[in-house]
Structure 1
Amino acid sequence: EVLKEFERENPGVRVIVQQIPWTSAHEKLLTAFAGDALPDVAQMGNTWIAEFAALDAVAGLDEMAEASSVIKEEDYFPGIWATNVVGHSLYGVPWYVDTRLLFYRQDILKASGIGRPPRDWAEWMQAATAVKEHVGKDNFAFYVPLNEYEMQVSLALQQGVPLLRDGDRYGNFSSPELVAALDFYLDFFRKGLAPPSSETDIANVWDEFARGHFTFYLTGPWNIGEFRRRLPADLQDKWMTAILPGPSGPGASTAGGSSLVVFKHSAHKDAAFRLVEFLSRPEIQQQFYEISGNLPPRRSSWRG
């Protein structure tokens, strides 16, 4: 329905949507680039922007954004806008934002003798240990898929040191702070508090959360709607979310999300950017939030 409105406003323009599973989107975009078969416009994970800019696959949007009456840099949250800037040039427009936070079963936490969600690393490990003792050997305190990197990055960011060193040429992994972050992460597996599995090893994460196979789950706001839809009615008042704990208090998490990009060799750049503008309108972003649960990147979209 949202795109039909765009087509009504732009007679002669038809939008053909191809949906790609997130797990294969990056590979498919690279394949399309190699085969000179990229679309005009795409949703792109903001961690991919620099890569596709380096490949010279995406168009610079500075001139179009500066001339736009819709897209205003000052209305976007600065950190998210910055993820779209590479070498002082804008290559994407933020579409939605997300982060990682803790989803947890407050009933299991309470039954384990823990009265509130953990606020720092020590409380987190203490809570996970108490939960594991309560739920027994066949269940776990925490589920964090091994094929996801966001927890490790979040823990590293919480340490307040650069992730890269030597002119951003090497990872700063040997620094004491990042070693401590990784050590804390590994303790969940060493102590048997989290299963050493990837997301493909669990067929239905919502069912497993509902039956108490794990109490803490690191995921993002897109799952709020899924939990409301998929968990049984008697569990709807028993799950909550919490800020990711940090070393000595509430900690940082990753600034993720997706952006809208126009590909450099598009034959319809003007129409493609009009679509980017349309999807960037605050009222359209509010509609998209209602449909998907994804959080708008613009301040004005949050004001009503």
Structure 2
Amino acid sequence: MTGLHRRCRLRTHAMRNLASRRLWGRVVWGMVLVFVAASVGNCRGRGEVPKVLRVWAMGKEGEYLAATVHGTIVAGCRVEVQRLPWSAAHEKLLTAFVAGTLPDVIQLGSTWVPEFAAVGAIACGEVSDWRERDLFPGALDTVMIDGRMCAVPWYVDTRVLFYRRDLLERAGFQQPPRTWQEWRQAMQKVRELGAGHYGLLAPLDEWQLLVALALQVGASLLRENETRGNFQSEPFRRAFSFYVSLFRDGLAPFTGEAQVANVYQDFAAGLFTFYVTGPWNLGEFRRRLPPELQESWATALLPVPDPALPSVSVMGGASLAVVRSSAHPEAARELIAALLQPDEQVRFYRTTGDLPVLRTAWEDPGLQTDSRLTAFRLQLENARPTPKVPEWERIAGLIVQYTELVVRERLSAEAALARLDAEADRVLEKRRWLLQRTQAAE
């Protein structure tokens, strides 16, 4: 998961119902057989004290590992889990790398893998050792750096369309929109329901929806071997124009981070009908929306510019990586392999709400019968990663900055995209220099 994505997710307070010790207790018993089976033994000889396999993980995922594998023996190593807050994790990981104190296994957000691979912090290898045919293609793509697999996808997320079915029906639509044109028409009709109704909530501090729209029209966000911005390209301009028009035409309200705090209250009040968001909000909507609205909301694939095109969204989630300096790489890989079993993936989802990365895990009856999960399952087949460069999060921040300037009519679209390209070029200057040196050496 991206850092900006995570900061949005932190506002949902998803840990509130995960504090129950009885819940964790049930999970622990379910995990026992998995990790006994994984205990083959390569950390100690007969009669020796087990060595420690250190794991760092964040948020509720770290809570899960602490409750399920901390203190267990995997391949002869005793697992020791340390939980990190997402807000401080990136800095702590980099600091530990410089100091040479990284653990054996680390959790990485989807956009962090290229950075940690570039500095040589994580071990990269052949993809054939993992369940590559069972992984969603976009999830596998996020961890493939220069043809090598540098981490193992652990869970996935993507963005789909959440919507108020009842308001859409009042506006005259029995089905969710399938195309951009239908989406705009639906938003216009919803707007006609009254002054208190907007079509879409699109927080201006988030870049994922705009990038998803750009990917749908085939935009390449970077060019020249991902060393320069490509935001003035025709496909990106088309997506940018559509996105900005939603604000200019009054279909989406101007919102910033401070105004998103009451998203559930505003959704319940009918302030907006559509909201493009991720799987963490499935549980939040069930908890926060009043009982009388629980049958009035649903999910759907993102609308597409052309009905002949697949619905594309942004691939997110997190991976587990073996640290390159680990003294116990085989034990680290066995632990990760155990966490990538289909039954374990289902158990992980039921406890944390994180979506399984394995297609076979989605065959679980509980996942198949949840109608609101169907859109996520389908969307994941065509979810794509952002550019795999260490500088991506800085560039994503620039997308947010210049998009808001255009939406608020402080800069023209042409000027904003030109500046965005120029800023991205500056951010990527070191990458160009390194590639040029590499090519010259060859």
Q: Secondary structure at the match of 2:162?
A: strand
Counterpart residue number, 1:77: 136
* Residue 354 of structure 2 corresponds to residue 294 of structure 1: yes
Distance in 1 (alpha carbons) for counterparts of 2:88 and 2:168? 36
Amino acid at match of 1:275: L
Larger % of helix: which?
2
CA positional deviation for 1:185:
0.6
Distance in 1 (alpha carbons) for counterparts of 2:192 and 2:104? 54
Choose which of 69, 73, 79 in structure 2 pairs with 1:14: 79
User: Which range moved further: 11-20 or 123-132?
Assistant: 11-20
User: Which range moved further: 220-229 or 260-269?
Assistant: 260-269
Q: Secondary structure at the match of 1:53?
A: helix
Q: Secondary structure at the match of 1:218?
A: strand
* Residue 245 of structure 2 corresponds to residue 187 of structure 1: yes
Distance in 1 (alpha carbons) for counterparts of 2:123 and 2:262? 39
CA positional deviation for 1:139:
4.5
CA positional deviation for 1:109:
1.6
Deviations 1:71-102 (A, max 9, x none): 33222223321221101221110111221111
Counterpart residue number, 2:320: 260
Which is bigger in relative contact order (C-alpha 8 A, separation at least 6)? Answer: 1
Distance in 1 (alpha carbons) for counterparts of 2:336 and 2:156? 16
Aligned pair in 2 of structure 1 residues 130, 33: CA closer, same or farther (>3 Å)? Answer: farther
Aligned pair in 2 of structure 1 residues 195, 232: CA closer, same or farther (>3 Å)? Answer: same
Report 1:169-184 matches (<5 A): 169-184=227-242
CA positional deviation for 1:256:
2.0
Counterpart residue number, 2:110: 46
CA positional deviation for 1:157:
1.1
Larger radius of gyration: 2
Contact 2:190 2:197 in 1 (8 A): no
CA positional deviation for 1:196:
2.4
Report 1:215-234 matches (<5 A): 215-234=273-292
Deviations 1:204-242 (A, max 9, x none): 322221122221111012221221122111111000111
* Residue 176 of structure 2 corresponds to residue 112 of structure 1: no
Identity %: 45
Distance in 2 (alpha carbons) for counterparts of 1:298 and 1:106? 30
Aligned pair in 2 of structure 1 residues 229, 76: CA closer, same or farther (>3 Å)? Answer: same
Counterpart residue number, 1:284: 344
Counterpart residue number, 1:275: 335
CA positional deviation for 1:161:
4.0
Deviations 1:145-200 (A, max 9, x none): 22221111111111124333233322222222211110001111112222222344
Contact 2:203 2:260 in 1 (8 A): no
Choose which of 170, 179, 200 in structure 2 pairs with 1:142: 200
Counterpart residue number, 2:155: 96
Distance in 2 (alpha carbons) for counterparts of 1:233 and 1:18? 35
Amino acid at match of 2:110: N
* Residue 311 of structure 2 corresponds to residue 251 of structure 1: yes
TM-score norm. by structure 1 comes to 0.87
* C-alpha RMSD of the superposition: 2.4
CA positional deviation for 1:108:
1.4
Choose which of 296, 300, 313 in structure 2 pairs with 1:242: 300
Q: How many pairs align?
A: 297
Aligned pair in 2 of structure 1 residues 27, 113: CA closer, same or farther (>3 Å)? Answer: farther
Deviations 1:45-81 (A, max 9, x none): 222211221122222243xx75x5xx33222223321
Specify every segment of 5 or more residues in structure 1 that has no aligned partner in the other structure, as ranges: none
Distance in 2 (alpha carbons) for counterparts of 1:31 and 1:145? 32
Aligned pair in 2 of structure 1 residues 24, 126: CA closer, same or farther (>3 Å)? Answer: farther
* Residue 278 of structure 2 corresponds to residue 213 of structure 1: no
Distance in 2 (alpha carbons) for counterparts of 1:222 and 1:18? 20
TM-score norm. by structure 2 comes to 0.62
